[in-house]
Amino acid sequence: MADTRIIFLIGMPAVGKSFWGDKIARAYPLTFIDLDVYIADQENASVSALFAKYGENGFREREQKYLNKIIATTASDLIVACGGGTPCFADNLQIMKKAGKVIYLQAETAYLLENLKSSDELRPLLNGRGDMTIYLDTLLQKRKNIYEQAHYILHTKDISLITFDEIISSCINRH
């Protein structure tokens, strides 16, 4: 649908993409898709199981396939919470930027660690890592230049629904 607008939330694991995606979708109202949940539903397997079966590259190929499917088949205004690595694989970031607006949710490692401690979600890339602070710092440094190509960068300490209001209004076609 030519009028459809999609907002993609990107950022590090545990930054709050799913939390804010759901909250924004309820407030505006928009359709919300958590890309990892969507992939798990489509593949009838958890993200962890898919990582174990296909490795990271195999998972990323499936992730790109489903990202493209969402973009091609959506019939409503939409907000998508992407996996932390989604924009870093192949040309996913360009695909997302072409299909809508990309918002990078930015946070310090301490914030991510705090969220990880209070979460029981299994995150395949974080399993079995030694010093989580060093790992997250290194991962952020690898991904930072890609994340910062987003249309908008919002720091988690500054985020509220009001923060998103202007962005949502400019991104979503109201009929």
State the 10-residue block means of pLDDT for the chain, 175 residues long. Answer: 74 94 91 96 94 93 97 90 96 96 94 83 65 89 96 88 79 54
Alpha helices (H) along the chain = 17-27, 35-43, 47-73, 92-99, 109-117, 132-147, 161-171
User: 3-class SS at 126?
Assistant: helix
For residues 67 and 144, give the distance between their C-alpha atoms in angstroms, rounded to a whole number.
Answer: 21
Identify the pLDDT of residue 175.
36
Are 102 and 150 within 8 A, CB to CB?
A: yes
Q: What are phi and psi of 68, to 5 degrees?
A: -65, -40
Take residue 105 and report the two structure tokens written for it: 């949710």
The pTM of the full predicted model, rounded to 2 decimals, is 0.90
Domains observed in the chain: 6-171 (3.40.50.300)
Identify the pLDDT of residue 121.
66
Hunting for tokens 């970031």 — which residue is that? Answer: 93
Identify the pLDDT of residue 128.
65
